[in-house]
């Protein structure tokens, strides 16, 4: 009985396979090349909506616009909007009003009043008003990962339905903060309530914003599908995409193949080594723009010999900056002027740079009483960062030439930070890729990386300079009242940083985009470094 059953079922399975192969394999083998092309050319536009297909590498860590503080910023700004948008550097106007139509600041700079756009509705139909703005900012201050950007806001006051007032504890540029890519989205109060009741509310991809696109569908690790918000206050015109399919493709070579094969219209992050193919192809335009990101190496100044400024300066002279940019970034980078990325406030080239000069390095070491080096350092970098992995050995080689021995260790970022925060047991040099939370590197980079605090968070150098802290405090105090004067203070602070060298400032990375001629309307805005593609501005080329 057993045997018969087995044979029977085997036969059934075979029959099914034979059937399946017979009906599908045969036509597929003969028709496939012609049929797929024909289908792409004729069927798709006629049968379906106008779809923009993009291959993304950015992961979606959360769909919660309040909690967001990671690479999901590639998608969220298409769904959620802020009060203001900060334009790219060099624009005539600094801001574009979005959900606020206009704004003003009080005489004493202690309050900002925003007049909201009327008639705007969230995706769930709720009206966008002063109460919604207050609820969003209160929520993000309460539990947003980047909620700290609102530290100077004492309270948000609903003046009337369309007027909202931010009362400050100390003057700060609230217009700049309100345009942040993190922690500044205005979200439907209904969603905030729902999240309060259910922690997993955002897990499946929802949209409760005011933006031009809504999340239609989300399959983790596969794709996110966005569809037009037909009620969008900005209106729609012909040529804009009705649907956007964001395929999540972690492999860079696969993304590139998809782009070249026409499987997608756009692709994020093509590896720098492969750019020449596109540079030489008239069907593509390659954009190389300044970015928000830079690489820094932080010295632990607690112990000898790195507690000696001369030693730190010597090591800064022993960094082969050009080689590092060539190896780490495929040449797509520029040597940093301090910890502020080029193009971001308060960048200024008057702060100076170190050159690669081994003779000077040796002389400085001798001056410091370390003739011929003779000490060893432990350097750590983030294991998942391919650039750091590539250029860390260059530092080792170069330091060896001045007699300094380097041990390199790759750690996860979390482990690297934990070790660096352990004080006297910490590594001597920590390589970091850093970027500011919003378009103000003074409020972030200068403070986070080098402002001395008793327990370190990101200020891993333990460098304690009262002069630097004072300069920063003065700059920060002025930032809400006199932007130019505050920049002067900050530039002075960075000059001190470069002089005292508690860290090495390697290079600012470049943002690279490969855009096929089939897509129009791509515009790069340095201030939203994760928002690679603004679906609303893109058009299918005629």
Partner 1 sequence: MRIFEFIFRRLLTAIFVLIGVSVITFFLSRVVPTDTAALYLGTKARPEDLERIRIKLGLDRPVPVQYAIYMGDLLHGDLGTSIATKRPVLQELTDRLPATLELLFVGMFIATLIGVPLGVVSARWQGTWADMFVRIISIVGVSMPAFYLGLLMQIAFFRNLEWFPLSGRVDADLRFTSPIDPITSFYLIDSFLTLNWVALKDVFLHLVLPAFTLAAYPIGLIARMNRAAMLEVLSQDYIRTARAYGIKQWIITYWYALKNAISPTLTVIGLTVAYALTGTFFVEVIFNWPGLGLFTVRSLLALDYPAIMGMTLLGASGYVIINLIVDLLQTAIDPRIRLK
Residues that bind partner 1 (CB under 8 A): 2-3, 5-6, 17, 20, 24-25, 27-28, 32-33, 36-37, 43-44, 47-49, 51, 53, 59, 61-62, 69-70, 145-146, 148, 200, 203, 217, 219-223, 225, 243, 245, 247, 249-251, 253-254, 257-258, 260-261, 263-264, 384, 411-415, 417-418, 437, 455, 457-458
Question: In this structure, are strands 243-248 and 51-56 parallel, antiparallel, or unpaired?
Answer: parallel
Q: Which of residues 9 and 102 has its CB atom nearest to partner 1 in the complex?
A: 9
Q: How far is the CB of 348 from partner 1 (least distance, A)?
A: 25
Q: How far is the CB of 414 from partner 1 (least distance, A)?
A: 3
Q: Which of residues 13 and 400 has its CB atom nearest to partner 1 in the complex?
A: 13
Instruction: Give me 404's structure tokens.
Output: 């300094």
Q: Which of residues 214 and 264 has its CB atom nearest to partner 1 in the complex?
A: 264
- Label residues 436-468 b or e (16+ Cβ within 10 Å = b): bbbbbbbbbbbbbbbbbeeebebbbbbbebeeb
Q: Which of residues 174 and 432 has its CB atom nearest to partner 1 in the complex?
A: 432
Q: How far is the CB of 59 from partner 1 (least distance, A)?
A: 8
CB 411 within 8 A of CB 419: yes
Q: How far is the CB of 405 from partner 1 (least distance, A)?
A: 24
Q: How far is the CB of 219 from partner 1 (least distance, A)?
A: 7
Q: How far is the CB of 197 from partner 1 (least distance, A)?
A: 17
Cα dihedral 261→262→266→270 (10° resolution): 10
Q: Which of residues 51 and 368 has its CB atom nearest to partner 1 in the complex?
A: 51
Task: Determine the Cα–Cα distance for residues 61 and 238; give it in Å rounded to an integer.
Answer: 33
Q: Which of residues 220 and 352 has its CB atom nearest to partner 1 in the complex?
A: 220
Q: How far is the CB of 258 from partner 1 (least distance, A)?
A: 6
Task: Determine the Cα–Cα distance for residues 118 and 127; give it in Å rounded to an integer.
Answer: 9
What is the Cβ-side half-sphere exposure of residue 315, based on CA atoms within 13 angstroms? 34
Q: How far is the CB of 86 from partner 1 (least distance, A)?
A: 20
Cβ count near 425 (within 10 Å): 10
Collect all residues with Cβ–Cβ distance below 8 Å to 340 and sequence separation of at least 6: 346, 347, 348, 441, 442, 445, 446, 494
Q: Which of residues 68 and 336 has its CB atom nearest to partner 1 in the complex?
A: 68
Beta bridge partners of 160: 163
Q: Which of residues 160 and 425 has its CB atom nearest to partner 1 in the complex?
A: 425
**What burial class does residue 346 get, using C-beta atoms within 10 Å of its C-beta: 0-12 exposed, 13-18 middle, 19+ buried?**
buried
């Amino acid at each position: 009985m057993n045997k018969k059953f087995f044979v029977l079922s085997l036969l059934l399975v075979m029959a099914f396979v034979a059937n399946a192969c017979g009906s599908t394999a045969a036509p597929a083998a003969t028709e496939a090349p012609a049929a797929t092309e024909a289908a792409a050319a004729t069927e798709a536009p006629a049968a379906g909506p106008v779809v923009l297909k993009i291959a993304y590498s950015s992961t979606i860590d959360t769909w919660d616009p309040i909690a967001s503080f990671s690479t999901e910023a590639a998608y969220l700004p298409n769904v959620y909007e802020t009060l203001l948008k900060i334009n790219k550097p060099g624009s005539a106007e600094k801001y574009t009003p979005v959900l606020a139509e206009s704004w003003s600041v009080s005489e004493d700079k202690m309050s900002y009043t925003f007049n909201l756009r009327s008639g705007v509705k969230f995706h769930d139909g709720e009206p966008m008003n002063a109460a919604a703005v207050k609820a969003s900012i209160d929520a993000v201050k309460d539990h947003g990962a980047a909620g700290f950007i609102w530290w100077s806001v004492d309270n948000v006051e609903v003046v009337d339905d369309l007027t909202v007032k931010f009362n400050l504890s100390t003057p700060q540029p609230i217009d700049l903060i309100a345009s942040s890519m993190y922690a500044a989205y205005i979200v439907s109060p209904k969603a905030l309530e729902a999240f309060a009741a259910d922690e997993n509310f955002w897990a499946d991809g929802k949209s409760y914003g005011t933006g031009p696109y809504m999340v239609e569908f989300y399959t983790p690790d596969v794709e996110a599908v966005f569809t037009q918000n037909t009620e969008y206050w900005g209106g729609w015109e012909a040529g804009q995409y009705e649907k956007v399919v964001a395929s999540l493709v972690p492999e860079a070579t696969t993304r590139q193949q998809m782009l070249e094969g026409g499987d997608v219209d756009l692709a994020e992050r093509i590896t720098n080594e492969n750019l020449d193919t596109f540079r030489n192809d008239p069907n593509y335009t390659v954009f190389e723009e300044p970015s928000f990101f830079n690489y820094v190496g932080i010295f632990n100044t607690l112990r000898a010999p790195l507690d000696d400024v001369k030693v730190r300066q010597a090591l800064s002279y022993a960094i082969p900056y050009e080689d590092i940019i060539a190896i780490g970034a495929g040449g797509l980078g520029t040597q940093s002027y301090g910890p502020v990325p080029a193009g971001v406030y308060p960048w200024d080239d008057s702060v100076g740079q170190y050159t690669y000069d081994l003779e000077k390095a040796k002389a400085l070491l001798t001056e410091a009483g370390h003739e011929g080096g003779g000490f060893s350092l432990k350097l750590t970098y983030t294991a998942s960062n391919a650039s750091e992995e590539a250029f860390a050995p260059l530092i080792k080689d170069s330091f060896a030439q001045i007699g300094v021995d380097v041990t390199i260790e790759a750690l996860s970022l979390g482990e690297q930070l934990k070790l660096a925060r352990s004080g006297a047991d910490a590594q001597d040099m920590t390589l970091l890729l850093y970027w500011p939370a919003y378009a103000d590197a003074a409020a972030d980079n200068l403070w986070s990386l080098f402002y001395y605090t008793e327990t370190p968070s990101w200020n891993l150098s333990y460098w304690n300079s009262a002069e630097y802290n004072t300069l920063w405090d003065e700059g920060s105090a002025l930032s809400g009242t006199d932007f130019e004067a505050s920049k002067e203070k900050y530039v002075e602070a960075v000059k001190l940083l470069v002089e005292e060298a508690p860290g090495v400032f390697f290079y600012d990375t470049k943002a690279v985009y490969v855009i096929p001629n089939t897509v129009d309307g791509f515009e790069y805005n340095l201030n939203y470094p994760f928002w690679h593609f603004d679906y609303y501005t893109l058009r299918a080329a005629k």
